[in-house]
Amino acid sequence: MSTSVDCRSCTGAAHDLFSCLLDEQRAKLSKAAVPHAYGPHESIFHSGTPSLALYCVRSGSVKLFRRVNNGDEFVVGIRGPGDLLGLRGVLAGTPYAATAMTLEPAVICAIPGESFLSLLRENPLMGFRLLQRLAHNFRLLEDQLVERTYDRVGKRTARFLIQQIQKPEEGTSEPGTIAISASREEMAQLIGTTPETLSRTLHGFASDGILEVDRREIRVLDLTALLRLAE
Amino acid sequence: MSTSVDCRSCTGAAHDLFSCLLDEQRAKLSKAAVPHAYGPHESIFHSGTPSLALYCVRSGSVKLFRRVNNGDEFVVGIRGPGDLLGLRGVLAGTPYAATAMTLEPAVICAIPGESFLSLLRENPLMGFRLLQRLAHNFRLLEDQLVERTYDRVGKRTARFLIQQIQKPEEGTSEPGTIAISASREEMAQLIGTTPETLSRTLHGFASDGILEVDRREIRVLDLTALLRLAE
DNA sequence: CGGTCCATTGAGCACCATCAAGACTTGTGG
DNA sequence: CCACAAGTCTTGATGGTGCTCAATGGACCG
């Protein structure tokens, strides 16, 4: 075991979850968790393979997607720091339902399913916290279901852009400027549309004076209008 | 307290969940649970109101829906015997996210949120079972998200019909015959479309020789074809 | 300076919601 | 038992949204 990790120092929502662990349990977790640095577009696990481990995102962001019949990817969700991946599979003992892939460079800890389950048995409070978290995620997923079905591409795109603005960014960016690291293809997937439609939508916004669209940067000129579009 | 209930005798998936309770705990649950017989189209709780209780479906079926901006109902899910309603709200301490309404006559037990939570504290194993169940439902919801977004009305309708066939029915019906107790409007909601489109879809199937459509009964003539449509 | 990849733009079309009208069922009161 | 009314289901016509296919335009890289 080359690297070691201290789950106590882990920031974000995961801390909330693990904060109830006793020192001894936390030590056990830290010992079981194996961190790994992923590059962009590396897969963490694949849909259909047995759920041997649970993954805890320390930094970076990850997309979860399923492959649908016609072959293209359906993005089921995006996870960030503090989120757990593969929880369902480990709990239910079923294969992963989705494939997880990093969007950007990320550091993610792998926790063997068995270790996690035994920890869960030892510490019911963590179980309760987990229930609450799952309940919360459930609601978010429901929101997503409604959004995908009811809201038009324009609205979803506006929401996506607003999320990106709020995302904590590194030094260089000015307020209102979104650096696009993803390709249009990928961006379209996250919104749930095609690259063509996304392009049209963005340039539509641009010609309304709301955005300035560049290949890898989007400047928001009229945030008020954008917020109105996102309702 | 007029009526009393024995949670041990409750059939279905709920039994799985409560089977791990000790006698004493089960007695407590049975005492806390208040059964109530609902007629069709009665609401059990409303979206936005505080989550004071959890509901356990004993018989009948229930639709969960949200009201969307334009005013119409978006059906988030359907629950049947053994399912719990309002779990999320109780766990997270947030208001109900959806409104629950019976589709048919139903018997449903109300369990005060506090009683349930204290039971959960006393019995970690139940917590674990609950986690598993939530994990499973999570997956189903994800399936629904994909289905709603990707599958066309025809496919969704076919799936719906197949589900209805498999549903345990009371004496009178012949195999392959579906008694429609719901109106077209309601049926359309469950599938996620409009009454007009549903009507066209059903009669389209009929003219392909797959179904025989009557106002309140649908006979499946060609199950193979229907299964193929549902993929 | 070509070649390749990605983004954009255009044209056409499928699906389905909407609006509108007609057919049928059901209920009510005379 | 009939007549009328109200509701539901069906059918038709139309339009919008967004996907698909195809062509063009840049950017980046060798």
- Which nucleotides in chain D lie less than 7 Å from some protein C-beta? 8-13, 17-22, 27-28
Give me the percent of chain B exceeding a pLDDT of 90. Answer: 75
pLDDT at B1: 45
Residue B85 structure tokens: 């309603």
pLDDT at A173: 55
Q: How many residues does this entry show for chain A?
A: 231
- For an interface test with B, give the residue of A17, A128, A148, A190 to mutate (most B CBs within 10 A): A128
Interface residue A132 vs chain B (CB under 8 A): yes
Residue B201 structure tokens: 């879809």
What is the spatial distance, in angstroms and rounded to an integer, between the CA atom of A119 and the C1' atom of D1? 77
Q: Of B69, B198, B101, which Cα lies nearest the Cα of A150?
A: B69
Tell me if A76 and B134 make a contact (CB, 8 A cut-off). no
Strand, helix or coil at B46? Answer: coil
CA distances from B53 to A5, A127, B56, B86, B184 (A): 41, 21, 10, 7, 32
What is the spatial distance, in angstroms and rounded to an integer, between the CA atom of B214 and the C1' atom of D3? 27
Residues of B in contact with A87 (CB under 8 A): 135
pLDDT at A1: 45
- Which nucleotides in chain C lie less than 7 Å from some protein C-beta? 6-11, 15-20, 25-26
Strand, helix or coil at B62? Answer: strand
> What distance in Å separates residue A155's CA from the closest CA in chain B?
14
Nucleotide nearest to A206 (CA to C1'): C8
**B60 φψ region: left (φ > 0), alpha (ψ -120 to 50), beta (else):** left
Quick one: B116 exposed, middle or buried, by C-beta within 10 A (0-12, 13-18, 19+)?
buried
What is the spatial distance, in angstroms and rounded to an integer, between the CA atom of A50 and the C1' atom of C22? 58
B141 vs A68, A94, A138: nearest CB: A138
Residue B109 structure tokens: 């037990």
Per-residue pLDDT 10s for chain A (231 aa) are: 445 667 777 766 667 788 888 888 888 898 899 999 999 999 999 999 999 999 999 999 999 999 997 788 999 999 999 999 999 999 999 999 999 999 999 999 999 999 999 999 999 999 999 999 999 999 999 999 999 999 999 999 999 999 998 876 655 556 788 999 899 999 999 999 999 999 999 999 999 999 999 998 999 999 999 999 998
Tell me if A127 and B132 make a contact (CB, 8 A cut-off). no
Distance CA B160, CA B168 (A): 14
Distance CA B72, CA A164 (A): 31
pLDDT at B32: 92
> What distance in Å separates residue A177's CA from the closest CA in chain B?
31
Residues of A in contact with B136 (CB under 8 A): 88, 92
> What distance in Å separates residue A94's CA from the closest CA in chain B?
9
> What distance in Å separates residue A166's CA from the closest CA in chain B?
25
Tell me if A146 and B68 make a contact (CB, 8 A cut-off). yes
Residues A115, A142 contacting (CB under 8 angstroms) = no
Give the tens place of pLDDT for each residue, B183-209. Answer: 999 999 999 999 999 999 999 999 999
End-to-end CA distance of chain B: 50
Interface residue A98 vs chain B (CB under 8 A): yes
What is the spatial distance, in angstroms and rounded to an integer, between the CA atom of A131 and the C1' atom of D28? 49
End-to-end CA distance of chain A: 50
pTM of the entire predicted model: 0.91
Band of residue B25 on the pLDDT scale cut at 50, 70, 90: confident
Cβ under 8 Å to B: A residues 31-70: 66, 68-69
Which contiguous run of DSSP H or E holds residue A65? Answer: strand A62-67
Q: Of A84, A102, A82, which Cα lies nearest the Cα of A37?
A: A102
Distance CA A60, CA A40 (A): 9
